[in-house]
Chains A and B, each alone.
Chain A
């Protein structure tokens, strides 16, 4: 199978990840729950994970790195920490349900900063127009999980700073690939999955948190145990219950891979694959491709449609031909509404560091064959 669904989760992991998970399963107990060797080994691994993340994302303090189950978990912490019912929250037109659903559940007053896909200037203008004194917070994803559109998060962050509005950044499609500088963003929260471009196992995520954080889950933290509530300091206040130590060990190994290869090199590789994919698909008859005019505005995610077949049918035929892609709305109906693809959805192809030019060439051939009705 040729796997082109890295935006959902990366399937191919660096060799060190599996080894790290197995080692943790065999030798590590629960971090922060004892002083014996197996517990302290786990604690060391957890701290290593925080240190690596702090280095990779230029976070000023390891205590600001909280481990989560996934990006959704981190986003729920962020939203529940900042937003109360009726609060006005400005979001992009490309947000995932992991932002929309928690906001809707809270009864937030959501204002959408709408803009055409791949138009960064329009995106910035839309945020500029909507962020005002009544805005409780801004939530924006760095990269659209449907279209790969790279939003101007640093410029949006500057607007938020200027107006004293806390910012939540969803880096699900960028962490490990695009430059992510927590000091420069100065966001209240940055949420990311561990299992996508950081190459850790599923069930892992990280949240770069701030003093604005409030607990989402309540339970044991291994600290401050006489306190009937959660500790009021990071990261303990956000980490109730036993950690996913094998997952964290795997995530460490994944981040080691990213650090050693370098996010810039990974991004360049993915961009070259995307350029080839976009050019190839655009040359096919009956295929509508959503590609950025400037490749720098698109990460390793690309959507397309075939004129004559439903997206689900295309996905199914590709699956039978040995290609893994995702068809539908990608848990981001808002992004599809913004671009006008909500009624049909799209077929999404997304790449990782492990995909090759040859795989893209084979994929193009398969799509061509389906488009020709073969």
Chain B
């Protein structure tokens, strides 16, 4: 199964900005609810991308000045670990 990465965002509006920025660069993504154990602040939204677009996604977001709050990788055991970026 392909590894997923979660780009957490401070708000739904911000997640939508991230999602649109990635879509404009033709990078597949989907907005999802942030799983509680990766969210320090409570409810929120994240943009999920697959491993093969992560690097491009982070580059595009840095270039467009729309950085995510944090990046998490979904582990095979069903957990999440924060990824430095």
The residues of A with any CB-CB pair to B shorter than 8 Å are: 31-32, 34-35, 40, 43-44, 47, 50, 62-63, 222-227, 231, 233, 235-236
Q: Are A223 and B10 in contact (CB under 8 A)?
A: yes
Give bound CA distance, A82 to B40, whole Å: 31
Contact digits for B21-45, partner A, Cβ 8 Å, 1 yes 0 no: 0000000000111000000111111
Q: Give the residue of B16, B40, B41, B43 whose beta carbon is less than 8 angstroms from that of A47.
A: B16
Q: Are A233 and B17 in contact (CB under 8 A)?
A: no
Beyond known contacts A47-B16, A62-B13, A227-B41: 20 more, CB 8 A cutoff: A31-B12, A32-B11, A32-B12, A35-B33, A35-B45, A43-B31, A44-B16, A47-B13, A50-B13, A63-B13, A222-B12, A224-B43, A224-B44, A225-B42, A225-B43, A226-B40, A226-B42, A231-B11, A233-B11, A236-B13
Give bound CA distance, A63 to B15, whole Å: 11
Cross-chain pairs A/B with CB under 8 angstroms, 27 sampled? A32-B45, A35-B31, A35-B45, A43-B12, A43-B31, A47-B16, A62-B17, A63-B11, A63-B13, A63-B14, A222-B43, A223-B10, A223-B41, A223-B43, A224-B10, A224-B41, A224-B43, A224-B44, A225-B41, A226-B40, A226-B42, A227-B41, A231-B10, A233-B10, A233-B11, A235-B11, A236-B13
B interface bracket (residues with beta carbon within 8 Å of A) = 10 to 19
Give bound CA distance, A35 to B41, whole Å: 17
The residues of B with any CB-CB pair to A shorter than 8 Å are: 10-14, 16-17, 31-33, 40-45
Which of A32, A43, A223, A226 gathers the greatest number of chain B CB atoms within 10 Å?
A223
- State the main secondary structure of chain A at its contact with B: loop
A89 nearest CB across to chain B (Å): 30
Give bound CA distance, A236 to B10, whole Å: 10
Q: Give the residue of A34, A223, A226 whose beta carbon is less than 8 angstroms from that of B11.
A: A223
B4 nearest CB across to chain A (Å): 15
Give bound CA distance, A231 to B13, whole Å: 13
Give bound CA distance, A34 to B31, whole Å: 11
Chain B residues with CB below 8 A from A236, complex form = 11, 13
